[in-house]
């Protein structure tokens, strides 16, 4: 019996080539999209789950207030780990980590841009990064040991055993003590090399609560009630003894939150060793996958019920010959299964081809092996079976439930009635989804363009960012004037952060018009010429000048030490001053000092956030980034000039740089991904829906061939006939527009809520989607009806 079902399903598939192709293409694309999205979701949900201790590791994040508002950070001081282990018996181990990008030397060869991880010696015992060579307990138990990942080892020591070899980093020699498997892509801790945390010098020797630069992980006894333990920790942090150490006197405080390690990636707002994912994206990806599959499934249901018109005779005959309802039902489900199985095979092929594109959209690095994994190959077909059942159930129920005589005599009726209502509903659903996705895509693209074009209050074009390593820092004073002399360079400065994202949290106290205030703010240590290099405007006052360094008098125990400040308009306003009033006023940050300038507000964080108070203070020693403004006329020559200069001044040091614009764009990486995802989804949705409509229109016009012939003989024009078909579909598209627009409006607004600076929703975001879909639909239907019209009317009349 099953053989018979499969046989007839296969022959039907070959017989109706157009409909089969539409169904197979649609379902393959739908299934392929679902496989990729499934891989993405699985990868995201599996983040950091591979560690044996995964459930017992927590990240200690700071929650603190130094002046007013409460701040949070994923980093913490170097004291947190050791102090908690000494104080609380349920802290079994701690691992402090720090990742930096730096150069490694092997002999005279310099290898650049590697992720160097500093970690406490128990790193390989707490986390399950498998060592292929070396002992996990002793791999980094001394400052001169280094562990390489498999790929670093292959890069540095091709076809050679790396163990025992010497590498040079930051002026010291390290002996390779272990080779470890590459960290998987679903790991928040990623590295190329691991060395001991003790190499961080002061951070290791002097434990501090502040100077929070390290991400601290705690291995906690699995019997511990984490909520209670967090309270216990914070009660300890509020004790007089610790308050004295932290300097956080009531109402200020320094607390810690224990974030479950394997939930950090999707659920934490705090960025630690790498940017986090977002559980919202799991939902968005999931919903998009389901929507695309719905459209493809609807095509199947639609075409199958329409095709039922032509199969009344067959069904009737089967029933006359004794087929039961279940047998006819099974046959139709069987056909859906055969079709879906073929589609699944194509889907796997499409998926393999789509991997590079999907990696680009999702920011992941899936490989062929992920698609051909056991799980996909087992779950894929199961999933396909479920789809075929869902897509095939309606036609199967209707056709199997029809009486033999009805089926044989009035097959046309099968396609009418409820089938007609269902088909219309499905078309409305398909086009609603398409219009929804196109509208939302238009909204996202508008917002991303807005982000790109917004005047940030500084000029980010042609600004080169050169990360400052130890050597550059040492040579900075001499290097700066030399860089300024390179042709095409218009200004040079250095700072701790680049202006697009100022992360340094701090606080000040001042006495404003309404009395004393304490304000939490972002601060940035800068060198001279910062405002000039970035083209920032002053609302009042001036930029830092050389003579401002004279205020920073460290003689006589620094009793006369003053620190000059530049603030932004928002900070001036918060204190209660106009920009002009602020000039010359004294505020206290690290030391008392005068305000020499008030900068016009500029965006120093992403446009998700409103502009907050900002303080700049003169401190070139904290600089991490060298910023070079080029006039943009002769970029190539200027870059060459800079490269030559670096090679001459610091031989053997690589010249690494990127553009400030790139840093800015990185702020909106997730928005750009969302844009690509929605573009792809909207394209697929409209493609599949149009394909379905194409098939359905072909069927509708085919089944009315005779009518068209008669109308043509009686003198109907092409236009009047295509109008006949277009009219009934236009109504459906209009209903789809009405259904989709409120949903798109809601979704667009919801997405935009996350931005402090955003576009207004415009009527054209929706009109564009509606018109586009309408035009595509009209074109598709007209094509089909005109095709039938162009047949010789005599042929049309003979068709029945």
Partner 1 sequence: MIRLTNLDKRYRTEEVETIALDKMNLEVKEGEFVSIMGPSGCGKSSLLNIIGLLDDLDGGSYLFNGIEVAKFNERKRSELRKHNIGFVFQSFNLIDELTVYENVELPLIYTKVNAADRKKRVEEVLEKMQIMHRKNHFPQQLSGGQQQRVAISRAVVNKPKLILADEPTGNLDSANGNEVMQLLTDLNEQGTTVIMVTHSEHDAKYSHRIVRMLDGKTVTENILL
Q: Which residues bind partner 1 (CB under 8 A)?
A: 1, 4, 7-8, 11-12, 15, 313-314, 316-325, 327, 403-405, 408
**Please, what is the minimum distance in Å from the beta carbon of residue 7 to partner 1?**
7
Q: Which CB atom, from 320 or from 794, has the smaller least distance to partner 1?
A: 320
Compute the distance between CA of residue 747 and CA of residue 437 in angstroms, rounded to an integer: 10
Sign of CA pseudo-dihedral 455, 459, 464, 468: negative
**Please, what is the minimum distance in Å from the beta carbon of residue 318 to partner 1?**
7
Q: Which CB atom, from 4 or from 644, has the smaller least distance to partner 1?
A: 4
Compute the distance between CA of residue 788 and CA of residue 786 in angstroms, rounded to an integer: 5
Q: Which CB atom, from 69 or from 401, has the smaller least distance to partner 1?
A: 401
Measuring CA to CA, which residue among 129, 133, 139 is closest to residue 48? 129
Distance of CA 533 to the CA centre of its chain: 31
Strands 565-568 and 592-599: parallel
Is 259 in a helix, a strand, or coil? Answer: strand
Compute the distance between CA of residue 744 and CA of residue 679 in angstroms, rounded to an integer: 15
Q: Which CB atom, from 17 or from 205, has the smaller least distance to partner 1?
A: 17
**Please, what is the minimum distance in Å from the beta carbon of residue 415 to partner 1?**
18
Q: Which CB atom, from 10 or from 88, has the smaller least distance to partner 1?
A: 10
Extract the tokens encoding 195. Answer: 């060395």
φ/ψ (deg, to 5) at 207: -75, 130
Cβ contacts of residue 441 below 8 Å, gap of 6+?
Answer: 675, 678, 679, 681, 682
Compute the distance between CA of residue 33 and CA of residue 347 in angstroms, rounded to an integer: 8
Q: Which CB atom, from 325 or from 679, has the smaller least distance to partner 1?
A: 325
Compute the distance between CA of residue 454 and CA of residue 460 in angstroms, rounded to an integer: 11
Compute the distance between CA of residue 203 and CA of residue 181 in angstroms, rounded to an integer: 28
**Please, what is the minimum distance in Å from the beta carbon of residue 703 to partner 1?**
17
Question: If you write DSSP's letter for every residue of 738-770 in order, what string do you get?
Answer: HHHHHHHHHHHHHHHTT-SS-PPP-HHHHHHHH
Measuring CA to CA, which residue among 199, 180, 189 is closest to residue 142? 199
Compute the distance between CA of residue 178 and CA of residue 637 in angstroms, rounded to an integer: 44
**Please, what is the minimum distance in Å from the beta carbon of residue 361 to partner 1?**
42
**Please, what is the minimum distance in Å from the beta carbon of residue 15 to partner 1?**
6
Q: At what angle do helices 660-667 and 669-703 cross, to 10 degrees?
A: 60
**Please, what is the minimum distance in Å from the beta carbon of residue 185 to partner 1?**
49
Are 148 and 116 contacting, i.e. CB atoms less than 8 angstroms apart?
A: no
**Please, what is the minimum distance in Å from the beta carbon of residue 338 to partner 1?**
13
Q: Which CB atom, from 103 or from 411, has the smaller least distance to partner 1?
A: 411
Q: Which CB atom, from 324 or from 720, has the smaller least distance to partner 1?
A: 324
**Please, what is the minimum distance in Å from the beta carbon of residue 388 to partner 1?**
19
**Please, what is the minimum distance in Å from the beta carbon of residue 319 to partner 1?**
7
From residue 371, give the alpha-carbon distance in Å to each of 153, 294, 670, 680.
28, 22, 24, 20
The number of beta carbons lying within 10 Å of the beta carbon of residue 355 is 18
Q: Which CB atom, from 79 or from 318, has the smaller least distance to partner 1?
A: 318
**Please, what is the minimum distance in Å from the beta carbon of residue 760 to partner 1?**
54
Q: Which CB atom, from 255 or from 318, has the smaller least distance to partner 1?
A: 318
Compute the distance between CA of residue 510 and CA of residue 506 in angstroms, rounded to an integer: 14
Q: Which CB atom, from 314 or from 643, has the smaller least distance to partner 1?
A: 314
**Please, what is the minimum distance in Å from the beta carbon of residue 799 to partner 1?**
16
Q: Which CB atom, from 322 or from 481, has the smaller least distance to partner 1?
A: 322
Q: Which CB atom, from 3 or from 205, has the smaller least distance to partner 1?
A: 3
Extract the tokens encoding 187. Answer: 């790991």
From residue 573, give the alpha-carbon distance in Å to each of 130, 233, 566, 579, 598.
55, 38, 14, 8, 11
Cβ contacts of residue 708 below 8 Å, gap of 6+?
Answer: 701, 721, 785, 788, 789, 791, 796
Compute the distance between CA of residue 347 and CA of residue 687 in angstroms, rounded to an integer: 16
Q: Which CB atom, from 71 or from 410, has the smaller least distance to partner 1?
A: 410
Are 651 and 607 contacting, i.e. CB atoms less than 8 angstroms apart?
A: no
The number of beta carbons lying within 10 Å of the beta carbon of residue 663 is 18
Question: If you write DSSP's letter for every residue of 117-148 in order, what string do you get?
Answer: EEE-TTHHHHS---EEES-TTTTTSSTTEEEE
Q: Which CB atom, from 338 or from 355, has the smaller least distance to partner 1?
A: 338
The number of beta carbons lying within 10 Å of the beta carbon of residue 606 is 18
**Please, what is the minimum distance in Å from the beta carbon of residue 308 to partner 1?**
15
**Please, what is the minimum distance in Å from the beta carbon of residue 11 to partner 1?**
4
Q: Which CB atom, from 321 or from 790, has the smaller least distance to partner 1?
A: 321
**C-alpha atoms less than 13 angstroms from C-alpha of 444 in its C-beta half-sphere:** 25
Q: Which CB atom, from 8 or from 73, has the smaller least distance to partner 1?
A: 8
Q: Which CB atom, from 16 or from 570, has the smaller least distance to partner 1?
A: 16
Strands 193-196 and 625-630: unpaired
**Please, what is the minimum distance in Å from the beta carbon of residue 327 to partner 1?**
7
Compute the distance between CA of residue 626 and CA of residue 94 in angstroms, rounded to an integer: 35
Strands 614-618 and 515-526: parallel
| Eight-state DSSP code of residue 534 | T
Chain position carrying tokens 């691992």: 95
**Please, what is the minimum distance in Å from the beta carbon of residue 412 to partner 1?**
16
Q: At what angle do helices 325-362 and 17-45 cross, to 10 degrees?
A: 50
Are 472 and 652 contacting, i.e. CB atoms less than 8 angstroms apart?
A: no
Strands 614-618 and 131-133: unpaired
**Please, what is the minimum distance in Å from the beta carbon of residue 728 to partner 1?**
23
């Amino acid at each position: 019996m099953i053989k018979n079902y499969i046989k007839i399903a296969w022959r039907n598939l070959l017989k109706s080539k157009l409909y089969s192709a539409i169904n197979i293409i649609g379902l393959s694309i739908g299934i392929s999209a679902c496989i990729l999205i499934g891989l993405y979701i699985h990868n995201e949900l599996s983040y950091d789950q591979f560690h044996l201790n995964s459930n017992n590791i927590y990240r200690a994040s700071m929650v603190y207030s130094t002046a007013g508002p409460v701040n949070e950070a994923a980093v913490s001081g170097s004291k947190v780990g050791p102090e908690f282990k000494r104080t609380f018996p349920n802290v079994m181990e701690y691992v402090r980590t720090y990742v930096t990008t730096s150069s490694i030397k092997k002999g005279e060869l310099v290898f650049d841009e590697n992720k160097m991880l500093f970690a406490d010696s128990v790193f390989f015992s707490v986390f399950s990064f498998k060592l292929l060579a070396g002992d996990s307990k002793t791999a980094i138990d001394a400052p001169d040991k280094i562990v390489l990942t498999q790929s670093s080892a292959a890069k540095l020591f091709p076809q050679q055993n790396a163990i025992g070899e010497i590498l040079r980093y930051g002026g010291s020699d390290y002996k390779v003590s272990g080779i470890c498997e590459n960290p998987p892509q679903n790991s928040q801790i990623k590295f190329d090399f691991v060395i001991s945390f003790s190499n961080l010098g002061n951070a290791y020797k002097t434990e501090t609560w502040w100077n929070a630069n390290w991400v601290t992980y705690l291995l906690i006894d699995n019997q511990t009630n984490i909520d209670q333990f967090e309270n216990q920790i914070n009660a300890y942090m509020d004790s007089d003894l610790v308050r004295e150490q932290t300097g956080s006197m009531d109402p200020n405080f320094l607390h810690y939150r224990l974030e479950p390690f394997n939930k950090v990636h999707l659920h934490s707002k705090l960025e630690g060793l790498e940017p986090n994912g977002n559980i919202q994206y799991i939902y968005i990806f999931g919903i998009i996958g389901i929507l695309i599959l719905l459209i493809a499934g609807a095509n199947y249901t639609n075409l199958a019920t329409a095709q039922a018109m032509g199969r009344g005779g067959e069904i009737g005959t089967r029933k006359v010959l004794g087929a039961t309802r279940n047998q006819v039902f099974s046959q139709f489900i069987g056909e859906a299964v055969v079709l879906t199985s073929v589609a699944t095979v194509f889907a796997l092929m499409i998926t393999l081809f789509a991997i590079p594109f999907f990696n680009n959209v999702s920011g992941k690095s899936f490989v062929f092996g992920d698609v051909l994994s056991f799980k996909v190959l087992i779950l894929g077909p199961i999933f396909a079976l479920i789809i075929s059942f869902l897509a095939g159930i309606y036609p199967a129920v209707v056709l199997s439930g029809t009486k033999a005589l009805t089926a044989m005599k009035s097959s046309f009726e099968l396609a009418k009635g409820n089938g007609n209502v269902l088909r219309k509903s499905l078309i409305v659903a398909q086009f609603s989804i398409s219009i929804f996705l196109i509208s939302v895509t238009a909204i996202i693209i508008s917002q991303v363009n807005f982000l790109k074009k917004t005047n940030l209050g500084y000029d980010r074009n042609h600004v080169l960012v050169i990360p400052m390593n130890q050597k550059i820092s040492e040579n900075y004073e001499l290097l700066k004037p030399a860089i300024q002399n390179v042709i095409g360079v218009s200004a040079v400065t250095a700072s701790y952060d680049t202006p697009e994202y100022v992360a340094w949290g701090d606080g000040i106290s001042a006495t404003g018009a309404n009395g004393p205030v304490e304000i939490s703010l972002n601060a940035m240590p800068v060198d001279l010429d910062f405002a000039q290099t970035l083209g920032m405007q002053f609302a009042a006052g001036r930029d830092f000048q050389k003579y401002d360094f004279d205020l920073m008098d460290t003689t006589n125990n620094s009793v006369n030490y003053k620190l000059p400040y530049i603030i932004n308009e928002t900070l001036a306003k918060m204190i209660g001053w106009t920009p002009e009033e602020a000039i010359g006023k004294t505020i206290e940050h690290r030391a008392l000092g005068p305000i020499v300038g008030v900068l016009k507000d500029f965006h120093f964080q992403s446009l998700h956030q409103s502009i907050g108070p900002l303080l700049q203070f003169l401190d070139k020693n904290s600089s991490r980034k060298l910023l070079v403004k080029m006039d943009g006329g002769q970029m190539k020559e200027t870059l060459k000039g800079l490269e030559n200069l670096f090679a001459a001044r610091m031989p053997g040091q690589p010249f690494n740089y990127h553009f400030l614009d790139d840093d800015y764009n990185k702020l909106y990486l997730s928005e750009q991904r969302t844009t690509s995802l929605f573009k792809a989804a909207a394209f697929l949705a409209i493609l599949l829906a149009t394909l379905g409509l194409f098939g359905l229109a072909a069927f509708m016009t085919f089944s009315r061939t005779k009518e068209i012939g008669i109308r043509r003989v009686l003198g109907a024009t092409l236009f009047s006939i295509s109008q006949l078909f277009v009219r009934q579909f236009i109504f459906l598209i209009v209903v789809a527009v009405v259904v989709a627009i409120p949903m798109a409006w809601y979704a667009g607004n919801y997405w935009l809520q996350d931005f402090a600076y955003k576009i207004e929703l415009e009527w054209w975001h929706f009109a564009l989607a509606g018109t586009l879909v309408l035009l595509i639909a009209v074109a598709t239907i007209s094509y089909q009806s005109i095709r039938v019209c162009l047949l010789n009317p005599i042929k049309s009349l003979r068709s029945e």
